[in-house]
Amino acid sequence: MNRQNCEYVVIGGGVSGLATAWYLRKAGRDVRLLEKNPAVGGCMRTLRQDGFLLEQGPFNVLVRDPAFEQLLGDLGDDIEVEPAGPDAKMRYLYLGGRLVPLPSGPASLLTSRFLSASGKIRLLAEPICARRPKSDDPTVGDFATRHFGAEFAQNVLGALVTGVFGGDVDRLSLKACFPSLARLDREHRSLFLHGLSVPFRRIGKPKKPRRRWKGLINFVGGLGAMSDAIARGLGDGVTTNCEVTSVERRGDGYCVAYNASGVSRSLDTRHVVLATPIGQAIGLLKTMADEPAGKIAESLASVESVPLVILNLGFRREDIGHDLKGFGFLVPPKEEGLSFLGVLWASSIFPSHAPPDRHLLRVFVGGAKRPELARKNDDELVALAMDELRDLLELRGDPVLVNSCRYANAVPQYYPGHTEIVRCIRTQLSSIPNLHLVGNYLEGVSINDCVRQARETVEKMAALPAEAAARSGG
């Protein structure tokens, strides 16, 4: 077996692993990233086909975390940010067989049909009707119902949660999914009254620095351009077509065994970062034959995920009667008439993702709403999409392009108790020297969250040698 040495080994080349390796390399550390697929990026990959840009996972990023913004700055001229077009501000819900625009301001709140008259009254009565949580870990649906009423909880927040997590608003934990909202829910009975007081409490405080990027963005060449740029920066520190078979603990270090191009190899390393999807992380933890690692694997096995199929459909512009001005639409979980989670009008958000005479739609299938649909083949899903969307979007012709990407375990579901699961994992990790976990199954599923976790993990790793030296008097 071919053996090599490296200070840090990152297993998994998705956004979490790439960001971790990037920060380690930036800190001057010797790092190797091992990825089993032919290319890095995980679900953050972009295919080019017939003039279309086809995202294989996330479609856009909302820049909201300083760590992600700093990473964009670090990449500099290696990527070019593409802001969303002005039409992306308009969003719709599928209600009662038609598309209803979401309010864009106070005036449209009263005129939009996104809620019934009684639903709007209950929404506006939040300062009077809102109640504090009875549970320490309420669901997102419970939170929304207490503050804004059951209709808003199901039709609006239920659809938005489906768009982010693919999950059930009545099962997902508020504390795990939206920690800042959970804190406000504990501290303030009325969110409306708290919101009104915020501008007054900011008087006299320094303004936040101007942000370089705001709102929704993608990159010229798609989100995969970011993955490729990080990989280029890592240079020969990236090994693809490489499947890790075991992680063996040796004192305070590890031996990582892997197969690359049919050849068995191994790396002796001090630090191992597991940045794989949750199923692979569980498998590698079990290979360690270590009691704390086994307990972490058990904890991770309790985290459920939902399946998802992303169906990219390209059409001739003249074959779609709807103007497609907007971001697209989401389907509330209890709404009948459509089987899908939602549809994005990709070429309206980022026109570069389709040729000038084409439109690109992204149809989301599966999730907690209809997981069985994720098992259908492409022909069946295209037929279903054409049947259900033909009248709604005035489709007059068949798609000229079909592309699908499938994830059996697409999005981890943070149910009540998830924060306790993560706390237990952190406790067990503290007893295993130099083993680290990053991934969307811990504390946030977005690209922003994964980059933030990667940066925090590297900061902790960078502090370990100094702490050890201090304890030993070095």
Q: How far apart are CA 282 and CA 251, in angstroms?
A: 21
Tokens coding 430:
């503290």
pLDDT of 3 reads: 61
CATH topology (fold) of 115-201: protoporphyrinogen ix oxidase, domain 3 (1.10.3110)
pTM given for the model: 0.92
Domain range annotation of the chain: 2-84+217-302+417-472, 115-201, 305-412
Average pLDDT for 93-103: 94
Q: How confident is the model at residue 214 (pLDDT cuts 50, 70, 90)?
A: confident
State whether residue 38 is helix, strand or coil: coil
**How does pLDDT run across 331-360, given as a tens digit for each residue?**
999 898 899 999 999 999 999 999 999 999
CATH topology (fold) of 305-412: Polyamine Oxidase; Chain A, domain 2 (3.90.660)
How many CA atoms does the CB half-sphere of 393 hold within 13 Å? 31
What CATH class does 2-84+217-302+417-472 carry?
alpha beta
State whether residue 218 is helix, strand or coil: strand
- With contact defined as beta carbons under 8 Å apart, do 126 and 362 qualify? no
What are the beta bridge partners of residue 98? Answer: 95
464: pLDDT strictly greater than 50:
no
- With contact defined as beta carbons under 8 Å apart, do 353 and 346 qualify? yes
- With contact defined as beta carbons under 8 Å apart, do 382 and 374 qualify? no
**How does pLDDT run across 374-415, given as a tens digit for each residue?**
999 999 999 999 999 999 999 999 999 999 999 999 999 999
Tokens coding 34:
């091992």
